[in-house]
Amino acid sequence: MKIAIFGSGYVGLVTGACLADVGHDVICADIDEAKVARLNLGEVPIYEPGLSALIGANVSAGRLSFTTDMARAVAHGDVLFVAVGTPSDVDGSADLKQVLAVARTIGENIGRYKVIVTKSTVPVGTTHMVASEISDALGKRGAEIAFDVCSNPEFLKEGAAIEDFTKAARIVIGTENPKALQVMRQVYGPYNRNHDKIIAMDIRSSELTKYASNAMLATKISFMNELANIAERLGADIERVRIGVGSDPRIGFHFIYPGCGFGGSCFPKDIRALAKTARDAGVTPHVLDAVQAVNVRQKHRLFEKLSEALPDLGGRTIAVWGLAFKPNTDDMREAPSLTLVEELLAAGATIRAHDPEAAAEARHIFAGKEGILVCDTFQDALNGSDALVICTEWKIYRTVDPELIRNALKSPIVVDGRNLYEQSTMQEAGLVYHSVGRPTLPPQ
């Protein structure tokens, strides 16, 4: 099938590469000329495990290409995916400017029947707005060309996006036309052979399903972080509580790890957008508001814990391990590390930071900011530092010898926002180990 994808960001690139990999003829269109030029040279602007190789293989095979020519992309595709960004507006709502701009471009250039798919995460009602924009553009042309719209939300985890696409638990398709549903079944046919994973529903329900899924996962995280704070006051161990709770099959172990809050391009933005949608509909989103409030507060816990351990941070040097909002990505959007860095610099501390994949992104974000150095190795970040704070649970940090940490630090203080280590191991190494939802043990 001939497919065009508008937007060559995270969702667009993963979708395009995975669809091309099963034989579809895919063009990814983007208005960013520099990005398209890099992609055509085989340079992938984001880090996602396996994505660079997948794109390279399909570009070489002639099944995947990139362009800034929107008219060409519209003409090419029988199915047109809208996968542009929907960032938060000032009031928390999703900014739909890019989505509606693509819809107008489609209406101005469409020449035959096509199925237009909203892949971007959009508020309920947006896909119908896309249809209206296309119809208006056709009306201005005096053209009568049939088309269908459908909603097909993505459920991709950064760091595991290719597996999530190719081995999806479900493929949600919202449409009111059986013809469009049949076309979408053809698109996903190669990934839908073991058993039927397609869940067909109306468009508005499909759009809400995406927000509901992310809101549910974010709620589990904030709930566990709230419990962690309670556990600290009560002298309980949240890790043991987590195992006890997660053993219930009705709850499970996914997304109940305590930590320093969630970030990234999805959860914070989507919670805000759903809360705004609820208010616009006359519903007060009490749970969603609580999820946001707990998460904002949790991002400050690392600085609070460090301040208790080192009351005077002015003039201190602090090592920070992990800058990306989660492992296996270089995405730092709304990462807990950003909150920590801001608070440390305001307190007069100097920062030596490390991240195995987000270093380039961090140097770009912190360019021109005094007081922070992004180091090439985690050992470099430790050297000469007064204390260590861990923000991201990269595997490379999990197996570090505690003795190495103790010998490198001026003070034996570790604040672990991801509970990477056994408390007894850190205690035996002579470290004062502050974690989340567990008692702080003095060094032996």
Active-site amino acid positions = 266
Q: Count CB atoms within 10 A of the CB of residue 151.
A: 28
Q: Which residues of 260-299 are buried (b: 16+ CB within 10 A; e: fewer)?
A: bbbbbbbbbbbbbbbbbbbbeeeeebeebeebbebbeebb
Q: Count CB atoms within 10 A of the CB of residue 253.
A: 12
Place of tokens 């001939």: 2
**Rounded distance between C-alpha atoms, residue 31 and residue 68, angstroms:** 5
**Rounded distance between C-alpha atoms, residue 356 and residue 377, angstroms:** 8
What is the helix (H) or strand (E) element at residue 104, kind and residue range?
Answer: helix 97-109
Are the beta carbons of 372 and 341 closer than 8 angstroms? yes
Are the beta carbons of 183 and 78 closer than 8 angstroms? yes
What is the helix (H) or strand (E) element at residue 53, kind and residue range?
Answer: helix 51-60
Are the beta carbons of 318 and 352 closer than 8 angstroms? yes
**Rounded distance between C-alpha atoms, residue 413 and residue 9, angstroms:** 39
For 426-437, give the DSSP string. Answer: HHHTT-EEE-SS
What is the maximal distance between C-alpha atoms in the chain? 81
**Rounded distance between C-alpha atoms, residue 337 and residue 299, angstroms:** 8
**Rounded distance between C-alpha atoms, residue 106 and residue 70, angstroms:** 8
**Rounded distance between C-alpha atoms, residue 354 and residue 362, angstroms:** 9
- Residue ranges of alpha helices (H) inside 282-421 are 286-298, 301-309, 336-346, 359-365, 378-382, 395-398, 402-408
**Rounded distance between C-alpha atoms, residue 300 and residue 347, angstroms:** 13
Place of tokens 């030029």: 37
